[in-house]
Structure 1
Amino acid sequence: MKRLISTAALVAAMSVGAGAAGAQVLELAVSDSPAGLDPHIVTAFASFQVVNGTVYEALTEVGPDLRIRPSLAESWEVSDDGTTYTFTLREGVTFHDGSAMTAEDVVASIERVKSEAIGSPLASRVAAVAGASAVDERTVEMTLSEPSAPFLTQLASIAIVPSAFQADAESLQQQPVGTGPFAFEEWQPNNFILLGANEDYWRDGMPKLDGVRFNIVPESATRQVGIASGQYQMLPNIDAATALQLQGRPGVVLQDTLELSYTLIGMNTSQPPFDDPLVRQAVNYALDREAIVQAALFGSGVPAGPLSPALEAWARDVSEFPCYQHSPERARELLAEAGVETPVKLTMLVLPRQDIRDIAQVAQAQLEAAGFEVELNIPELGTFVQDWRNSNFEIFASANAGSVDPDDFFYRAFRTGGSTNVFKYSDPRVDELLETGRTERDEAARKAAYDELQGILACEGPVAHVAYGQLYTATREGLSGFEIIANRSLSTLAETSTAQ
């Protein structure tokens, strides 16, 4: 069994500045308490940033340069037809409960994500896996029903968990068990989550910290005072408004990068009025994305098309989409053409995150100028997630995660029956293009498919893409080794250390 730092020891040394000399427990402050910690079930960023790359790891990982690299799999081979992947696992990797990670755990993790009983929102990412088997303790063979160009990228989001949890949809939500640099220690709801160093971690010399404590601090002003005073050493993944307040503060350092995730207005296409593509187009014409970026994101971002500009080889410029020309008049014309009575009365479900609240308020005014009457509903996070997953909304404001491959932006969200297609959206041509983009191994052919797909989704899809924001992390001077990643992962905490 591993020896982990005890909770009592961590609490006693919980601040580098206030604890015992040489203590290396990093104090972070975050705005929201996670809704759960199961890596195959959670969808909220508040959960993702606690466990991704810290508690849990996958066969592959996304590095700070947004390239895919080996993680729990040290190498792999792909058959000539692109349908068989053979992975060689690292030797000597153990879970935080002391058990050895083997090929059986990898197979069980894949099957768990695919299981209807578990209901994982990641299921679409492994939909092409027809079978997975353990050849021996360190060799896994996966057979795909068809070639999948983004497969290695998608595996980076599939955490490996012990096989004992394959049919258990409850335990990991409260007490995660992974292979990562930090192990779960304690969770006091709405107070803090404590992770301790994994002393048997497979990467030599890591982690450099004795632990990480995620302090739940809802008030932005309190978090800002905390990092300025040295009470906290990091505010991860903060918005532009917070970063602006911290700019120039003595002892505070800001890192930034353009996000892969995007903010959006999502529409339920299974019920009027959003079952009509004309109404969805009207929403797009109603939005002035530049004004939203300036007002809600303080200019720190860019108007969002279906793909992030960070994916330079794939993303189309938003100037190519007609509906991005802000025109309340054209929006009203489309509503009249659709035969809907104005004002169109709606309730917008809003993710309780400050930048999303701000975006929703600006969008509310813009939509009302174009023939909509919008009431905002801002519930607590758990309620939002439940309503979102159950498609219990007319329209919502939120954020969607992105990745380094276009398939991860599109397939699970917009394919008919996709695992996060909460919009109930279905379009045969979109489904066809998604399959082409996923299975075609020729880069030019994939590019052509995704170009056409972006054109459809930008104006007639179930999402009005709003903005890709500039993502910031604030740290105290003396913190070294941390590197911000555009997908919001805190995996580089393994390499982070503080000044003695």
Structure 2
Amino acid sequence: MRRRTLGRDDVSTGTDPRERIRTSAESASDGRDLPTRREVLAGVGSASAALVAGCSTTLGTGPDPTLRIGTLRPPVTLDPIEAESIGSEQTVERVFEGLYAYGERTDIVPAIADGEPQYENDRREAVIELDDRARFQNGRDVVAEDVVYSFEAPLEEDAPTAWRVDPIGSVEAVDERTVRLSLSEPYPALEHALTHPIVPKEEREDDRETFATDPVGAGPYEVASFSAEKKATLRRWDDYWGEPVPEIGRVTMAYVEFPMTQLTSLRTNRNDAIEPVSPRIVDDVESVANATVKRREGYTSFYFGFNLNEGPTTDPRVREAISYCIDLEKAVGEFIEPMGERQYGPLPPRVAEEWDMPTGEWAEFANEKNAERAQQLFREADEASGQLRILTTMDPKHKELGEALAGGLRDAGHGALVVSKPESSFLERYVSGSERDYSMFVGEVSGTPDPDSFLYPTFHENAEGTTNGTFYREDAVMERLTNARETRDRERRRRLYEEAIARLLEDRVCLPICSYENSFAVDGNVSNFRVHPISQVNPRLAWENGVVTVGDGS
């Protein structure tokens, strides 16, 4: 294989890296019975005749096998510049290539780049040669101007992906196959930024609206059809210039609204895999659907974000009152475990442990549910009437968490309304800063092993209105978040992040909820399926050492 590892930035366990890969890549469900087991089994047993009649297996279709995945995370757009939801990024990842891609874990390997970056000027500049075979799906070569455009467009358009590339001061086309990236300050997360998808400048600029639904990429799959928030069907690009080449000829990511429907779709062969696996059905997948749960600890976390721009939640006493309105330990136990775990800061446990963060101190900021204390604080803030709006997506986990908080607010004598919106509408509203849209929202962040991916886009004022819906404007915190991404001194970065997080928790800018594993339930006829820790890399259908196959793989 041409691709080779350039570096690692992952959790160290003190064991041989190859052994860590083998032991952590996939683990089956832990077999615990959930309270809803009887309901799950009864629901699957009574699946409607209409659904069964409409289902046909996609397995074993001969030389051009297909794979259909039922997902709770619908793709919203296929434009990599605008993609910010997990569903969009997972589809984009199949169609586009970056200069580099993630390897077996979180190591970086060449994709469009031809080898490692050549660093100059004390690593302030990186010169990258492009693979002379790289081309887009319309046959046009990938050239340096496309790379320059891909890194400049997010900033010029104030796109949701801008935070990833804005530390890169400039990108220059040295010649048709060479680019030079220059940094005004050190950027320790640069290698993650180099996985940013490369888009064709001419084709995107010609018609951005069409490009968002029928794009041209340089990846192994091209778009066959796309319906926003419903379904994306991709077909293998047989002239793909890179390697490895996937075995699966056609892959569909289809939105499924409820976990029960997901499980039914596995049993009836409507879908060959589902993701993510809900705690409601995890223990019943193997017995009901003859499938296996593939799961891996990743970098995804949930939190309640407060609107500090308008409305009652601009008052810290109101935010503190709300923190007494929900038992998050209980909520995580009911709605998240065993597919995730409680977290007490804005970093998932995996990242917090690797960076030696004071998670015990963070836990001290978490309040137990206390309706009387909440009522007292609401009275002190003169906020004992009205209705607090809790904004969520349609994801069942998000809605359940929102309803749990709303119930606690009502117990404290305050009105509350959970407003659940489709993904595209949620993405617009949760960053509006408008009291009419939300007082709180259920946020979800999928990042990398670098804390910057969780903290900067979620809380820095530069990301307001794109990925930051809190509108928190404490200068000391902004300064620390900026300085932390401009130094290569890991210990200094750790201290800066620790100080920023302490202030975020003290000011109750958010209520951390939990981390969530990356998980798929996969039919027995699907072989060699492995879950990657980086959410958008999934479903990974081909990698350096293998490919996913269906049936006998013929």
Q: Which residue of 1 aligns with 2:389?
A: 347
Give how far 1:245 is off: 3.5
Contact 1:16 1:25 in 2 (8 A): yes
Match of 1:398 in 2: 443
Any conservation in 1 of the 2:300–2:445 contact (CA below 8 Å)? yes
Letter in 1 for 2:142: M
Q: Give the equivalent residue in structure 2 for 1:373.
A: 415
Q: 1: CA distance between counterparts of 2:507 and 2:319?
A: 6
Query: Which residue of structure 2 lines up, in the alignment, with residue 71 of structure 1?
Result: 111
- 1: distance between equivalents of 2:450 and 2:149? 25
Check if 1:480 corresponds to 2:518.
Answer: no
SS in 2 for 1:249: helix
SS at match of 2:438: coil
SS in 2 for 1:274: helix
Q: Give the residue type in structure 2 aligned to 1:348.
A: I
In the alignment, residue 407 of structure 2 is paired with which amino acid? Answer: A
Residue 123 of structure 1, CA deviation: 0.8
Pairing partner for 1:496 from 548, 551, 554 = 548
- Which TM-score applies when normalising by structure 1? 0.89
Counterpart of 1:5?
A: none
Counterpart position of 1:437: 484
Query: Secondary structure of 2:461's match?
Result: coil
Matches within 5 A, 1:283-362: 283-304=322-343, 305-311=345-351, 312-314=353-355, 316-321=357-362, 322-328=364-370, 329-337=372-380, 339-343=381-385, 345-362=387-404
Q: CA separation in 2, counterparts of 1:483 and 1:412?
A: 29
Deviations 1:173-204 (A, max 9, x none): 11122111211111256763211112232333
Question: Structure 1 residues 58-67 or 226-235, which shifts more?
Answer: 58-67
| Structure 1: distance between partners of 2:449 and 2:322 | 28
Q: Select between 127-136 and 70-79 the one with higher mean Cα deviation.
A: 70-79
Please give the per-residue CA displacement for 1:8-56, whole angstroms capped at 9, x wherever unaligned: xxxxxx9543x7434411122224543221111122222222222x112
Q: CA deviation at 1:255?
A: 0.8
**8 Å contact from structure 1 (residues 255, 473) kept in 2:** yes
Contact 1:351/1:398 (<8 A) preserved: no
Matched residue, 1:159:
197
Contact 1:282 1:334 (C-alpha < 8 Å) held by counterparts: yes
Instruction: Give distance in 1, aligned partners of 2:238 and 2:508.
Output: 48
Q: 1:442 and 1:87 mapped to 2: Cα distance?
A: 24
Query: Is 2:224 the counterpart of 1:185?
Result: yes
TM-superposed CA distance for 1:72, in Å, is 2.3
Q: Corresponding residue for 1:30? A: 71
CA distance in 2 between partners of 1:169 and 1:424 (Å):
29
Give distance in 1, aligned partners of 2:57 and 2:229. 19
1:368 is paired with a residue of what secondary structure? helix
Tell me the secondary structure at the aligned position of residue 75 of structure 1.
Answer: coil
CA distance in structure 2 between the aligned counterparts of 1:59 and 1:44, rounded to whole angstroms: 21
Alignment of 1:134-213 (within 5 A): 134-156=173-195, 158-165=196-203, 167=205, 168-188=207-227, 192-213=231-252
Residue 384, structure 1, aligned to residue 426, structure 2: yes
Stretch deviating more after TM superposition (78-87 or 466-475): 78-87
**What is the deviation of 1:77?**
2.2
Picking from 144, 149, 160, the partner of 1:103 is 144
Give the counterpart of 2:453 among 405, 408, 414.
408
Confirm or deny: 8 A CA contact 2:167 2:184 kept in the other structure: yes
Q: Does 1:57 align with 2:97?
A: yes
Letter in 1 for 2:98: A
> CA-to-partner distance for each residue in 1:358-400, whole Å, 9 max, x for gaps?
1111122233345643111112333222222433422212322
Q: CA deviation at 1:227?
A: 1.3
Deviation at 1:138, TM superposition (A): 2.2
In the alignment, the residues of structure 2 paired with residue 164 and residue 78 of structure 1 have an alpha-carbon distance, to the nearest angstrom, of: 29
The structure 2 residue matched to 1:92, chosen from 127, 133, 137, is 133
1:238-276 Cα offsets, whole Å, 9 max, x none, are 332232341433530111123412112111111132223
State the shift of 1:473 in Å.
0.4
8 Å contact kept, 1:130–1:144: yes
Q: In structure 1, what is the Cα distance between the partners aligned to 2:411 and 2:506?
A: 19
| Post-superposition CA distance 1:138-160 (Å, at most 9, x none) | 2110111211111211332x211
| Range moving further from structure 2, 161-170 or 348-357 | 161-170
| Counterpart for residue 9 of structure 1 | none
Equivalent pair of 2:70/2:262 in contact (CA under 8 Å): yes
CA distance in 2, matches of 1:259, 1:280: 29
- Aligned partners of 1:64 and 1:486 also within 8 Å: no
Aligned partners of 2:71, 2:235: CA distance in 1, in Å?
A: 18
Cα distance in 1, alignment partners of residues 336 and 105 from structure 2: 24
Using the alignment, how far apart are the partners of 2:412 and 2:485 within structure 1? Answer: 37
- Of 306, 311, 321, the residue aligned with 1:282 is 321
Q: 1:239 aligns with which of 278, 286, 296?
A: 278
SS at match of 1:215: strand
CA contact (8 A) 2:391 2:402 kept: no
Distance verdict in 2 for CA 1:141–1:379, change over 3 Å = same
SS in 2 for 1:324: coil
CA apart distance, 1:349: 1.3
Instruction: Indicate if the aligned counterparts of 2:57 and 2:269 stay in contact, CA closer than 8 A.
Output: no
Equivalent position to 1:130, from 160, 165, 169: 169
Deviates more, 1:253-262 or 1:313-322: 313-322
1:295 to partner: Cα distance: 1.4
Distance 1:471 1:369, change over 3 A: farther
Give the 3 Å change call, closer, same or farther, for CA 299–497 of structure 1 in structure 2: closer
